[in-house]
Amino acid sequence: QVQLQESGPGLVKPWETLSLTCTVSGDSISSGKSYWGWVRQPPGKGLEWAGSIFYTGSAYYNPSFKGRVTISVDTSKNQFSLKLSSVTAADTAFYYCARVSSSVPRDYFDYWGQGTLVSVSS
């Protein structure tokens, strides 16, 4: 059974960088069968895709984040990570990591982590 687990600080100060890691079990990121992505959801609102990455390090990002997003992968630890720079209160959200269902970056998400709430506040 594929499982994903987000980890990282639950509170980030304004204008600092949000950093989260997703640890994958039950599948190998380096198998090359899937892209791996991040999706966020402000409390009580809708879902927004942030970006996705392949085991090679090839990444695609949502242009609406205006270059603030960086996703990296560590195949030795079977993890991938999200960095979001210059955060503001608008970046307060539940952050989910998820598996893209194929080796094509634009596909649906078939497995999700439980999500982690990150609040931006001084």
Partner 1 sequence: DIQMTQSPSTLSASVGDRVTITCRASQHIGPWLAWYQQRPGKAPDLLIYKTSTLNAGVPSRFSGAASGSEFSLTISSLQPDDFATYFCQQYETYQTFGQGTKVEI
Kindly state whether residue 115 participates in binding partner 1, applying the rule CB under 8 A.
yes
112 makes contact with partner 1 (CB under 8 A): yes
Amino acid at 96: Y
Q: Which residues contact 46 (CB under 8 A, 6 or more apart)?
A: none
Selected binder of partner 1 within 25, 28, 56, 64 (CB under 8 A): 64
**46's tokens:** 């809708």
Report the C-alpha gap between 84 and 91 in whole angstroms: 9
Q: Which of residues 19-58 bind partner 1 (CB under 8 A)?
A: 37, 39, 46-49
What are the residues binding partner 1 (CB under 8 A)? 37, 39, 46-49, 60, 62-64, 96, 98, 101, 105-110, 112-115
